[in-house]
Each structure stands twice: as C-alpha cells, then as structure tokens.
Amino acid sequence: MENNTLLNEVLSKAQTWLDGNYNEETKTEIRRMMEADDKTELIESFYRDLEFGTGGLRGIMGTGTNRMNIYTVGAATQGLSNYLKAQFSGLPQISVVIGHDCRNNSRLFAEISANIFSANGIKVYLFEDLRPTPEASFAIRHLGCQSGIILTASHNPKEYNGYKAYWNDGAQMIAPHDENVITEVNKTKVDDIKFEGNPKLIEIIGEEIDKAFIEAIKTLSLSPDAIKRNNDLKIVYTPIHGTGVSLIPRALREYGFTNIIPVPEQNVVSGNFPTVISPNPEEPAALDMAIKKAIETNADIVMASDPDADRLGIAVKNDKGEWILVNGNQTCLIFIYYLIRRWKELGKVKGNEFVVKTIVTTEIIKQIADQNGVECFDCFTGFKWIAAVMRENEGIKEYIGGGEESYGFLPETFVRDKDAVSSCALMAEITAWAKDNGKTLFQLLQDIYLEYGYGKEKGISVVRKGKSGAEEIAQMMNDFRHNPPKEIAGSKVVLIKDYKTLKMKNIITGEDTTLIMPATSNVLQYFTEDGTKISVRPSGTEPKIKFYIEVRGEMKSRADYDAADAAANAKIEAVRASLGV
C-alpha cells in the first residue's frame, strides 16, 4: 500500500512537469521513465524535491524534482535573485559573480544562471571558463559584489553537480540570509523563472582576476629567502582533472618554485574523472598516480587538489623513504605551527592574533596557539563558520589562519572559503623552509609532536540507509545524549559538550556551563582523563553517523614515532570497541 501511494504521488508530480512549462527534451525523458516497466528511476527522480539547503544544492544530474537540472538550478537562481533585489533595493546596481568547476553541465548551469540573474536586472561577472572555488570567493570581494554562486559538487562522484551560494563577504551564507533565500527558492515555480537573459548585464571575466588573485597570494610568503635557496624543490602536483590545472602551477611558479612536476593523465580536464574512482584527495587511491610520479622523479612533496580546488591533500616521504599520506588534521597542524612560528619570528605577533579550527579538528592546534599567545576559536564543521568568526573579528583582531580536518585550509583574508591555491603555495614554502632548516616535511611533523605532544585522529562513518536507517541514527544520537558513557577505553569521561543544547558538563565538579556558539548543532563530544576526544554527529548530506576519534600519546625523540603511532592505533581500536563502532 505504501509503495502504491508513493508511486501515485510520483506519477502525479511527473505529470505536473509534463503539463507544465518545461522543454520537450525534459518531457521526452519523463515519458520514457513513466513508460518503463521498472519505475525505480522515475521514483528516484521525483519522490522528493532537491532541497536548497544551507549549503545550496547538491544532487545527481538528470530530469526531475530530485535532480540537478536547468529547472532546479533555475529555481535556485530566481529565488536568490528575488532575495538580493529585496535586500539591496537601495543600490543602483546589484552584482554577482558566477564560477564553475569541470563537471559535466557546470558551464551550462553557469550560463543559465547568468541569464536568470541578468533577466532580473542583476549585473553578472561570469568567468570565461572553469576556475577554482576560492578564486570566485576572491572575485566577489575584489569586484565589490553582493553575492555569487559556484557550480560545483566538490569531490562527489561524477554523476553529481551542485550549487553554492555566497554573500557579499565572499563566504557561504549563514543565518539569516541562508534561511531567507531557502524560503524564496521554495516559493519559486517554473513559470516564475526568467530564463531570457540580458546580454548587456553579463560581463565575461578571466585573466585580470587570475592576476589579481595570484598577486594577493604572493603577499602571504613568510620565507622568501628559503624559497630562493630551494627554488628547485621537486613538487609533484595533480588537479585530479579539475580547476587547479593551470592556476595552481602558475601560483607555485610565481611564488618562486621552478620544478613543478605534472601528472599528465590527470591534467586532462574532465567531469568524468577518468583516472580515479573518486576525485577526493582524502581517498588514498586518488593520489596513487601522483605518488608513482614522485617515486620516478625522487620528488620532495606530492600535492593534490580536489575538482574545485578548495581542498588540499599531500603525501611525503617518511624516515624509511616510503611515501605516506598526511591526513587533514596533520596538514592543518603543519600550517598553523608554521604560520604562528614565522609570525613570531618576524615580530608580527602583537597580542591580538587568532586562529580558527572546527570542533572536530585536532586539539593540538589549540595547544600551539595557547602556548604562543594566540587565541584559538572553535567553530562548527564547515568553512562558512570559520568565515563567520573572521567576519566577527574583522578590524578588531588579526587572523593568522584557519582549517578543518577534512583537508581545507585558509591562510588569508582576501578569500572566505577554503583555498587549495594559496595552501599549495604555502605548503611548498613550508617544505622549502623545512629543507632550509635541514629537515624533511615528515621530520617537521615529528618535531611538532615532540614539542606539543603526539596525537592521532581517525574518522569512522557508520552507514544506515533508508527510513529505518535514519530512525536508527536518530536513536543512536538519543542514546549517546541521554546515556553518555562514563568511561571510554578504560579512561574516565571528565567533560561532555552537547552542541544541540549548548551545554557543557564537567563530570568531576558537576558544573554546567553554556557553550557560546552562533547556532545549535546535533553534535556530542566526550573528553576523557587521558586526553582522548570523541565527537559524534549525524551527517547532514549522507545516511551516516560520524565518529571522530582523537587520542594522545608520548614521544621523547623522532625515533619514538612508530611506537607512538602503534600505541595510538591500539587505543583507537579500544575506543571503537567501547563505543560499539
């Protein structure tokens, strides 16, 4: 009965599209799905509306209400246009930037969005071709625009595309703007969408923004002499078929590096990502070809950016000469350590500096900041929250850098989203600086652990699909919230943070404290006596509940690294057993 009801609802929605103001190509595709014996594709395409959420749109491309297509993208752009016109009604000319990645249909969606904005009287700066996400954020600020959009699904599989919306500071929108835009998008019907553009309001941009962006990135260098002495550092870089293909090597060259080694097969720009299963630098397989190239060329470092070039993955040689992947926490740790150290050495630390990390990112970053007189802000997962902290402190405190465990970092203020272009340049500089000081990047990481204590992190996702899966995830969160563990892996829980209620409980003293955050979030954290931190949250985009485990260890010399690593792995397994994951 339930399946028949769902099918009838889907058939009704599909018929609305057949009867509505949709193009013939769309209607032909709907008829094909409706006439098929197996109605699975039809149901998947229409059983719900693709939601314009707080991060914009993201979904599989195709025909239907639950797919990325010219109509779902069109409704998003029309809704955003309506909100911008209401919000900035006093301006003589509202303007936006449009950027896009390498994905199939990204250019099409970008051009359709440009037409819709311009049809609504909004000036459009449309990039001539694919560009990194951070460059679009830069352009919004550089050109003084009120908003911008980027067509990208980041590191999702090739079937996906997405639509991110940005505000006038170049950051992804947060409340109230995100919620207000969602309201406008949800009200928009197909007949409301103004598809007929005004070419006079569309300006193509490219090289002039590239140049300004790279000139800004060059100002970030803290060790130009180290770069000069090590300008022939062997850097293997792969864009994994994406938008970093020309701009990141160009940024590295203009930064002073002369020996950038490409991975030719992955320099092919393609939304099909032909050489990888997943174009995600978090996935070890995505760096396989680059590491092979590094072995052939005896390189110093491997760097990879995801398709929209906002996240950076790296690999380095360990003390045995083996290539190993550096995780997102370690990458963030290296950046923060270097930036704070060099700022201090150059006399740039005056007492009002700050760094930002997300609540699930390693606590060693806070230790480094605290011990060096730099304030460390914790924020929710997602770079829009790091940008929000930057906005709140603008003109009051000095931003040094911020990052998250999921491979995103931002070492500048002229962009307000994670930036693999500047991060690649800065990571190459750190490698040169370490070499100038007689160290490899791996040894630099070991030395950070020696100075601030060893730590290791592991993320675990438990997948539970469908309606029953969603109910199970909700029940797991409920159990963890109302029956918290008293000990984890043999260590007593001493502190609990609940970001849904914004309460922190000290188990030792019994004291309750309010957590100061800009919003609530369904995240729980447990801190134990031995320094272990556990974070638990349901995924907002996938049928998963995520566990972030961080354990601490001890190192007295570089030679202790392997033993500390083995002990940490054992402790992580004990934590997993305690949590039942």
pLDDT digits (tens, 9 = 90+) for 196-248: 999 999 999 999 999 999 999 999 999 999 999 999 999 999 999 999 999 99
Average confidence (pLDDT) over 80-85: 98
Q: What is the dihedral of CA 161, 167, 169, 174, to 10 degrees?
A: -90
pLDDT at residue 541 in the model? 64
Average confidence (pLDDT) over 452-476: 90
State which fold the 212-219+228-317 domain adopts. Alpha-D-Glucose-1,6-Bisphosphate; Chain A, domain 3 (3.40.120)
163: nearest Cα among 65, 84, 61, 245: 61
Q: Which residues of 190-207 are buried (b: 16+ CB within 10 A; e: fewer)?
A: eeebbbebbeebbeebee
Percent of the chain clearing pLDDT 90 (strictly above): 93
pLDDT at residue 207 in the model? 98
Which class would CATH give 329-452? alpha beta
Q: DSSP labels for 190-206?
A: GGG---S--GGGEEEE-
pLDDT band at 2 (very low <50, low <70, confident <90, very high): low
102, 118, 218, 250 from 255: Cα distances, Å: 25, 37, 6, 8
Question: Which positions are annotated as active-site residues?
Answer: 154
241: nearest Cα among 294, 299, 307: 307
pLDDT band at 578 (very low <50, low <70, confident <90, very high): very high
In one-letter notation, the amino acid at residue 183 is T
Centre a 10 Å sphere on the Cβ of residue 577 and count the other Cβ atoms it contains: 11
Q: Please tell me if the domain spanning 212-219+228-317 has the same topology as the one spanning 329-452.
A: yes
Sequence ranges of the domains in the chain? 1-47, 54-205, 212-219+228-317, 329-452, 454-579
The verdict on pTM exceeding 0.75 is yes
110: nearest Cα among 128, 85, 134: 128
Domain at 54-205, CATH homologous superfamily: Alpha-D-Glucose-1,6-Bisphosphate, subunit A, domain 3 (3.40.120.10)
Strand ordering across the sheet containing 323-326? 260-262, 235-238, 301-305, 312-317, 323-326
State which fold the 454-579 domain adopts. TATA-Binding Protein (3.30.310)
Q: Which pLDDT tens digit goes with each residue over 243-270?
A: 999 999 999 999 999 999 999 999 999 9
